[in-house]
């Protein structure tokens, strides 16, 4: 399931995201019983605990001891609620990484924090990045890594592409962990058992597999990777892929710095 941000009224959505005071006609009656933050916190808790399929205005209302309909006074619809949730949780991320040891350790720390962040809130990976939420906390995360990378003195065009590469890479690596957990929960079969069954069948169904795919087989036999104790194989492998892949990307940034200005 992929969710796209910004499906509601643009002005109202951005006013909510940026908490812009809106002058409205005063009407008699009781003061608001809830705040936007209380509603968003309840929605995030549901998504964290049960996943996005469990999220609804009714479910949020029940958690707050209110009716789902009463929430529409504060948030126009579920689309705006998801936008608010997405931006709200990004406020957890650190915005200040010291540069006393250079840009590379700072980017590594930023990426590591983002990786852990996605593990805490895997539902974020279902919100497409094609149309950003355009909220203050989302912008702050981009601002942080862009500011760090200005230390590289890369031209703007290259630097912006590096920022995009880092986001795509961290998100993709985290997606592997999230989906491996979802697969085991949805099917009742661990990923280790799934692979064990099919790995045994492949040679029987494709007896010339090694001849047809010699590079894959040779690399698999030479791989010395061992999963971390107590961590599922795919999750441990994804963590190593994250570490190795990030180091390779940063090596590429250093190579671009050495080349100097010019075409990427």
The token duo for 211 is: 């001849």
The domains of the chain are located at 10-90, 94-259
Q: Is the pLDDT of residue 31 over 90?
A: no
Which residues fall within 8 angstroms of residue 133, CB to CB, at 6 or more apart? Answer: 5, 6, 17, 83, 86, 87, 127
**252: pLDDT strictly greater than 80:** yes
Q: What is the pLDDT of residues 160-185, one digit of tens each?
A: 999 999 999 999 999 999 999 999 99
Distances (CA, A) of 170 to 139, 159, 175: 17, 17, 8
Q: Report CA torsion sign: 246, 166, 185, 191.
A: negative
What is the per-residue pLDDT across 50-105, written as a single tens digit (0 to 9) for each?
A: 999 999 999 999 999 999 999 999 999 999 999 999 999 999 999 999 999 999 99
CATH for the 94-259 domain, from 1.20.210.10, 3.50.50.60, 1.10.357.10, 3.30.565.10? 1.10.357.10
Looking at residues 205-226, what average pLDDT do you find? 95
pLDDT of residue 74: 95
Fold of 10-90: Arc Repressor Mutant, subunit A (1.10.10)
Percentage of residues of the chain with pLDDT beyond 90: 89
Measured at the alpha carbon of residue 236, what is the angle toward residues 230 and 240, in degrees to the nearest 5? 145
Task: State the pLDDT at residue 56.
Answer: 97
What are the structure tokens assigned to 24, written together?
A: 């409205």
**pLDDT score for 228:** 86
Percent of the chain with pLDDT over 70: 95
């Amino acid at each position: 399931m992929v969710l796209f941000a910004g499906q509601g009224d643009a002005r109202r959505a951005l006013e909510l995201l940026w908490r812009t005071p809106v002058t409205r006609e005063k009407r008699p009656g009781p003061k608001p019983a809830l705040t936007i933050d209380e509603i968003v916190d309840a929605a995030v808790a549901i998504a964290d605990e049960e996943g996005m399929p469990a999220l609804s205005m009714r479910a949020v209302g029940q958690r707050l001891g209110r009716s789902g309909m009463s929430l529409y006074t504060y948030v126009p619809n579920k689309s705006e609620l998801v936008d608010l949730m997405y931006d709200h949780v990004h406020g957890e991320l650190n915005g200040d990484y010291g540069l006393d040891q250079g840009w590379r350790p700072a980017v590594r720390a930023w990426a590591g924090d983002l990786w852990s962040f996605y593990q805490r809130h895997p539902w974020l990976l279902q919100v497409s990045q094609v149309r950003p939420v355009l909220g203050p906390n989302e912008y702050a995360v981009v601002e942080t890594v862009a500011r760090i990378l200005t230390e590289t003195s890369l031209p703007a065009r290259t630097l912006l592409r590096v920022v995009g590469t880092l986001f795509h890479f961290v998100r993709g690596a985290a997606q592997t962990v999230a989906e491996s957990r979802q697969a085991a929960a949805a099917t009742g079969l661990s990923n280790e058992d799934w692979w064990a069954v099919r790995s045994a069948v492949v040679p029987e169904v494709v007896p010339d597999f090694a001849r047809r795919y010699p590079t894959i087989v040779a690399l698999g036999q030479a791989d010395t990777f061992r999963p971390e104790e107590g961590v599922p194989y795919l999750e441990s492998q994804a963590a190593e892929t994250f570490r190795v892949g990030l180091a390779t990307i940063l090596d590429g940034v250093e190579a671009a710095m050495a080349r100097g200005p010019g075409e990427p």
